[in-house]
DNA sequence: AAGTAACCGTTACCTCAAGTAACACTTACC
DNA sequence: GGTAAGTGTTACTTGAGGTAACGGTTACTT
């Protein structure tokens, strides 16, 4: 009796890492399939791309939306990887905004099909409950909200707007990105500039209204954006 | 010869108006069904709500997405009905922005299921080609772009940013609205204020950078927004 | 060494909603 | 009376998501 009571049977633990690796493998396969066959791939296609048949997929993902959620999270990782250097770099504030926006747009530009797949081709089943995109947008927006809130508080301003503003900024960049992706009527650089300009003006306006004079060419002082 | 040569058989014309009326009727039925059964209704549900069986629906709409598109357009009409008074009112510029934003949010607030249905539950089939939401957002954004462009040109500024800025603004308000709809953690009035503030600051900043001093309490002079 | 708990994988099926076929009746123009 | 539009029905096909049932492999447990 001694061991059986407590010992959770090593056979269960043995695969822990492996399962995650497998999931990741299927997520990659999905991304590859999307890149090949466009954003409307089905489970069959994904399975084929992974060199496997459907039921195998369903051993690792409960659902289509479960898989899509995982893909969305992976995409968020890719996005963050590309954006975090831009977030971490100190420098002139406006330039920094431009770089962050541009990092986002560069990801969109490099993975148009994946982008469309994640942003548009999801939540087919679960209508409200588990929304892949909203999840990830919230993640980004919450990060932004924290940063904004800290800034506002540091300047002794009302920080109640931080959250809506964060979501507003996210939506703004995303929607402009969507538009740009569909009909690429201007260079990425130009779009980044325009968006950075409008964001900068919004921030500058907020600071002005609190009597703070900010120089677009200098870093904002009271906090560092990423620590 | 007068009639027979050209006359395209009055039987074809007889129904022109009727067909449109019927389409509208089904669109209303869809909206009612959505209000009752949530945003994930199927064609069967819609047909039932209209007191009809599926094939009838398919005589008037080629497709599910065709129906959804029509619903989206109807929703846009409802939205515009509510927004246009706010757009047409002259008055202090910042206040006006607030009213426009608030009008949008009020529609979202009053028809949450319809809103979710239109914004989220679409484009299930046609992946890229006929995107209902994008269509309607573009309509709004283009209107905005025209207005912005006119303003910018009136102030002798670079109007190249008008289009991206318009899409940015639309996305901003929409995303903030989505967030608010999901977890209503602040009053509509507060959200409208916060959004109007950020938009005002962005516009004000643009004008300042061109050397124009605008007073948030006064109407912008060179053009009227709606004519 | 035998048992078994976890994985590997397959083919063949079920289910459900979108969309279609085929058929019958009504109205009013020609 | 013929016919081109519409009204409507029930019963089917199709396709994609998801499942059942089966068999093989590995390596921990007893």
The residue-averaged pLDDT of A14-27 equals 83
- Domains of chain B (ranges plus CATH)? 15-61 (1.10.10), 82-227 (1.10.357)
Residues 6+ apart with CB under 8 A from B194: A160, A161, A164, A165
CA of A51, C1' of C10: distance in angstroms: 12
Cα nearest neighbour of B39 on chain A: A127
Question: Taking the C1' atom of D8, which residue's CA lies nearest?
Answer: B56
If you write DSSP's letter for every residue of A60-113 in order, what string do you get? H-SSHHHHHHHHHHHHHHHHHHHHHHHHH--S-HHHHHHHHHHHHHHHHHH-HH
pLDDT digits (tens, 9 = 90+) for A62-121: 989 889 888 988 988 898 899 888 877 878 888 888 999 999 999 999 988 888 888 876
pLDDT digits (tens, 9 = 90+) for A24-33: 999 999 999 9
Chosen from A198, A206, A215 to mutate, greatest number of chain B CBs within 10 A: A198
* DSSP reduced 3-state for B218: coil
Is pLDDT of B210 > 90?
no
Point out the least confidently predicted range of A16-20, B80-84, B180-184: A16-20
Cβ-based contacts of A141 with chain B (< 8 Å): 179
Chosen from B136, B171, B185, B196 to mutate, greatest number of chain A CBs within 10 A: B171
Residue A224 banded pLDDT, cuts 50, 70, 90: very low
The residue-averaged pLDDT of A174-199 equals 93
**Strand D nucleotides, any atom under 7 Å to a protein CB:** 3-11, 16-21, 27-30
Residue B124 banded pLDDT, cuts 50, 70, 90: very low
Question: Nearest nt (C1') to B14 (CA)?
Answer: D5
CA of B50, C1' of D8: distance in angstroms: 13
**Strand C nucleotides, any atom under 7 Å to a protein CB:** 4-12, 17-22, 28-30
Q: Are B69 and B147 in contact (CB under 8 A)?
A: no
Strand C neighbours with CB under 7 A? A 9, 11-12, 15, 18-19, 22, 51-56, 59-60; B 7, 9-11, 14, 42-44, 54-55, 58, 62-65, 125
- Pick the closest to residue A43 from A52, A35, B35 (CA basis): A52
Interface touch B175/A176, C-beta < 8 Å: no
Q: What are residue B199's phi and psi, to 5 degrees?
A: -65, -45
Question: Taking the C1' atom of D4, which residue's CA lies nearest?
Answer: B11
Is pLDDT of A222 > 60?
no
Interface touch B201/A200, C-beta < 8 Å: no
Strands (E), B45-199: none
How many CB pairs below 8 Å do chains A and B form together?
150
Interface touch B185/A163, C-beta < 8 Å: yes
Give this complex's ipTM. 0.78
Residue B24 banded pLDDT, cuts 50, 70, 90: very high
Question: Taking the C1' atom of C17, which residue's CA lies nearest?
Answer: B42
- Pick the closest to residue B103 from B19, B192, B20 (CA basis): B192
Interface touch B200/A205, C-beta < 8 Å: yes
| Nearest neighbour of A205 by CB, restricted to B116, B161, B201 | B201
CA of B128, C1' of D22: distance in angstroms: 41
Question: What's the CA gap between B121 and B115, in Å, rounded?
Answer: 9
Longest dimension (CA), chain A: 73
Interface touch A124/B128, C-beta < 8 Å: no
Interface touch B123/A127, C-beta < 8 Å: no
Q: Say if residue A22 is exposed, middle or buried (CB neighbours under 10 Å; 0-12, 13-18, 19+).
A: middle
Interface touch A194/B124, C-beta < 8 Å: no
Interface touch A171/B167, C-beta < 8 Å: no
């Amino acid at each position: 009796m001694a061991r059986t009571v407590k010992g959770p049977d090593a056979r269960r633990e043995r695969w822990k890492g492996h399962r995650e690796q497998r999931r990741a493998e299927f997520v990659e396969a999905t991304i590859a399939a999307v890149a090949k066959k466009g954003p409307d791939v089905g489970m069959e296609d994904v399975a084929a791309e992974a060199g496997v048949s459907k039921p195998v997929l369903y051993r690792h993902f409960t659902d289509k939306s479960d898989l899509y959620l995982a893909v969305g999270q992976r995409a968020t990782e890719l996005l963050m990887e590309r954006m975090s250097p831009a977030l971490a770099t100190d420098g002139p504030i406006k330039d920094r905004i431009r770089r962050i926006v541009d990092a986002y747009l560069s990801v969109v530009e490099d993975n148009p099909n994946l982008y469309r797949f994640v942003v548009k081709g999801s939540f087919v089943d679960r209508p409200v409950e588990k929304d892949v995109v909203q999840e990830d947008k919230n993640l980004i927006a919450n990060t932004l909200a924290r940063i904004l809130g800290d800034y506002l508080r540091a300047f002794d301003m009302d920080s109640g707007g931080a959250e809506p503003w964060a979501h507003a900024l996210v939506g703004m960049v995303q929607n402009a990105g969507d538009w740009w992706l569909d009909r690429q009527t201007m260079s990425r650089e130009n779009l980044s500039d325009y968006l950075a300009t409008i964001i900068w003006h919004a921030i500058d306006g907020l600071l002005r209204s609190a009597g703070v004079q900010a120089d677009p060419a200098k870093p904002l002082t009271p906090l560092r954006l990423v620590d």
